A and B are shown apart, each in its own frame.
Chain A
């Protein structure tokens, strides 16, 4: 068992190395010049050159990579070229809103999507199934901007029920936090709700066809009991898998929602850093997001192994 856990943990090392190299190359190979952007619209070439030197941007690329990689292993992601603040500090300030949005979206999507899919599976082929899956198909295809603009206009701006933008930390004012997160969560959650509904329907349908479910039915168990005690339990594995990988995808996918609702999260941090060529922030955020994904997936695998000995070999 312990050897499995160790092997699983070690397997992440080459992936992390590949991610680090890829991130660095994406950022540096384009030949962007942050010094010119800091210096401003009417700065001359000489001023830009001195700034470039002061920022350490004129060193050879392999040196810059080794320097960055070495510092990263020590937990130092460098400092923002524009703000001068350590990237680790900036991420720790920004990660809260992003994770709150991601968790809220998942809760919303699971609470609505899984029952939707289950109910659709139970009524497969009849009108509730068609209605629910129709809704899911549309939710799956609607552009996120449309959902956001419609919600903001009709639920926030006109009636004033919700704030149109902004983020209140939960420990400051929990009620305000919930009000502020409602519209972003629905905006982002519509897609994931549809996704979970589709996956749940497929998973439950599969299970209802299985022999043991038919046996239970034949033995006289009520349909509800068959569903909760047998089918749902087995369908949970694919559903939880998709939830796990959705969470990681959400960390990188919240950027449009964060922009539309002015939520100070990681997505906004990195897109703004990209437009300014703030290399350390771009590298740091993408790396941290990838690490969270790798970590979450490792933990999921380990939990499966704990529950199901067959996986351990």
Chain B
């Protein structure tokens, strides 16, 4: 597929300095997350109740939390979780969304059903349903990822569907159909090159959104298992001692802000340097 999937927009990709800055920040975050065990002498879950809520010092550069864990260590490890959540949810939403969108755009009787379900998803308050799903279904990583992913589906499905519908009516596509080429093949050949750039842009926003959603759900006490050092968990725990140990909140929040900002900047840059009208038309 590689010859088809490297479409024209990518070749004339010209990134402005802001986008490059965003990419650089992301690269640093990924690097520190991957290298976290070698950067810090502490483990992310090593507790030490005797050394709780210590301010930043030579021993603990960014202080300790309510049970004596090293805040910097946890923040670095948190990057692994948040970036993984963002990446996984982004990819999963794109895959599921494209499949649903193509089905809706090519199978007439499924179209109505899928689009009504998408309308239903849009109508349901995402945070509240997310909290309900995670709690009622006994928590766990998968319930969380599903709860974060489902509300992000509509954009991808709608974009895919409208592209599929417009490709169907292109004269050369209709001609090829008359000639006996099957629709899925046609979509594969013509849809992917057209849709790749806007889908990647949507994917970056979905990923950024997933990272924020994870922190919101963790803040409400229903996010990642609390032993995992996600930034949302750190903020949720840190707020209990916010006024005597603000580093417990500000450090993970800084990492979170930097990540979301960087992903959004990269998304904006990609959008502006590919075809802006295509995304906005939907």
A and B interact? yes
Quick one: closest A residue to B221, CB to CB? A275
Residues of B within 8 A of A15 (CB): 116, 119-120, 123
A252 adjacent to B128 (CB under 8 Å): yes
Proximity string of chain A (182-222) to chain B, C-beta cutoff 8 Å, 1 when within and 0 when not:
00000000000000000000100010000000000000000
Return the contact of A30 from the options B137, B215, B219 (Cβ within 8 A). B137
What 0/1 readout, one digit per residue, does chain A (23-39) give for beta carbons within 8 Å of chain B?
Answer: 10011011010000000
* A267 lies within 8 A of B219 (CB): no
A290 contacts which chain B residues (CB < 8 A)? 120, 123-125
Is A145 in contact with B116, judged by CB distance below 8 angstroms?
Answer: no
Given the contacts A27-B132, A149-B242, A138 and B137 also touching, CB distance less than 8 Å: no
Which residues, 104 to 136 on A, are CB-close (under 8 Å) to B?
none
Smallest beta-carbon distance A211→chain B, Å: 15
Least CB distance from A242 to B in Å reads 11
Please determine whether A286 and B242 come into contact, CB atoms closer than 8 angstroms: no
Number of interface residues of B (CB under 8 A): 43
Known: A29-B136, A30-B137, A289-B125. A143 touches B257 (CB 8 A): yes
**B125 contacts A143, CB within 8 Å?**
no
A286, B129: Cβ atoms closer than 8 Å: yes
* A266, chain B: closest CB distance, angstroms: 8
Q: Shortest beta-carbon distance, A64 to chain B, in Å?
A: 15
**B131 an interface residue at 8 Å Cβ cutoff?**
yes
Q: Does A239 contact B (CB under 8 A)?
A: no
In this assembly, does B253 line the interface, its C-beta being within 8 Å of a C-beta of chain A? Answer: yes
Complex Cα distance, B261 from A22, in Å, reads 34
Complex interface: chain A residues within 8 A of B265 (CB): 137
Q: Which residues of A contact B135 (CB under 8 A)?
A: 30, 32, 274-275
B243 within 8 A of A: yes
CB distance from A294 to the nearest CB of B (A): 5
CA distance A149 to B242 in the complex (A): 8
Question: Which of chain A's residues have a CB closer than 8 A to the CB of B136?
Answer: 26-27, 29-30, 32, 274, 277
Across-interface contacts of B215 in A (CB, < 8 A): 143
* Chain B residue, CB-CB nearest to A13: B116
Binary contact track B107-130/A, C-beta < 8 Å → 1, others 0: 000001000110110111111110
Residue of A nearest to B260 (CB): A141
- How many of chain A's residues have a CB under 8 angstroms from any CB in B? 47
CB 8 Å contact bits of B199-222 with A (1 = contact, 0 = none): 000000000100010011001110
**Are B131 and A274 in contact, CB atoms less than 8 angstroms apart?**
yes
The reply on B235 being an interface residue by CB < 8 A is: yes
| Bound CA–CA A32/B138 (angstroms) | 9
B104 within 8 A of partner (CB): no
Residue B264 CB within 8 A of the other chain: yes
How far, in Å, is B257 (CB) from chain A's closest CB? 5
Contact present for B138 and A30 (CB under 8 Å):
yes
- In chain B, residues 68-122, which have Cβ atoms closer than 8 Å to a Cβ of chain A? 112, 116-117, 119-120, 122
Looking at A19, A143, A144, A291, which has the most chain B CB atoms within 10 Å of its CB? Answer: A143
Cβ B132 vs Cβ A274 within 8 A: yes
**Please, how many angstroms separate the alpha-carbon atoms of A143 and B235 in the complex?**
10
Scan residues 150-201 of chain A and give those whose CB is less than 8 A from a CB of chain B.
153
Chain B residues with CB under 8 Å of A249's CB are 125-126
Residue of B nearest to A202 (CB): B280
Chain B residues near A144 (CB, 8 Å)?
A: 216
Verify if A146 is at the interface (C-beta below 8 Å from B).
yes
- Whether B133 is near chain A, meaning CB under 8 Å from some CB there, is yes
Task: Give the shortest distance, in Å, between B212 (CB) and chain A (any CB).
Answer: 7
Partner-binding segment picked from A48-56, A69-77, A253-261: A253-261
Query: Closest CB of chain B to A117's CB: distance in Å?
Result: 14
Tell me the minimal C-beta distance from B86 to chain A in angstroms. 13
Q: In the assembled complex, which residues on chain B have CB atoms less than 8 Å from the CB atom of A142?
A: 257
Interface string of B258-277 (1 = CB under 8 A from A): 00110011001000000010
Residues of A near B280 (CB, < 8 A) are 202, 206, 238
The interface residues of chain A lying within 8 Å CB-to-CB of B124 are 19, 22-23, 252, 286, 289-290
| Chain A residue with Cβ nearest B126 | A252
Are the C-beta atoms of A286 and B128 separated by less than 8 Å? yes
Q: How far is the CB of A272 from chain B (nearest CB, A)?
A: 10
Measured in the bound complex, the distance between the Cα atoms of B123 and A259 in whole Å is 23
Q: Quick check: is A231 within 8 A (CB to CB) of the other chain?
A: no
Q: Which residues of chain B (140-197) have a CB below 8 Å from chain A?
A: none
Which residues does chain B contribute within 8 Å of A14, judged by CB atoms?
112, 116
Inter-subunit contact A22/B120 (CB<8 Å): yes
- With both beta carbons as reference points, the residue of chain A lying nearest to B262 in the complex is identified as A141
Q: Which residues on B sit within 8 Å (CB–CB) of A289?
A: 124-125, 128
Known: A142-B257, A255-B220. 7 other contacts (CB 8 A): A22-B129, A26-B132, A138-B261, A255-B128, A271-B131, A285-B128, A286-B132
Q: List 24 A-B contacts (CB under 8 A).
A: A15-B116, A15-B119, A22-B120, A26-B132, A27-B136, A29-B136, A137-B265, A141-B264, A143-B215, A143-B235, A145-B239, A202-B280, A238-B280, A249-B126, A252-B129, A255-B128, A255-B220, A256-B216, A259-B220, A271-B131, A275-B135, A286-B132, A289-B128, A290-B120
**Closest 9 interchain pairs by CB?**
A252-B125, A30-B136, A18-B120, A141-B261, A141-B260, A290-B123, A30-B137, A293-B123, A15-B119
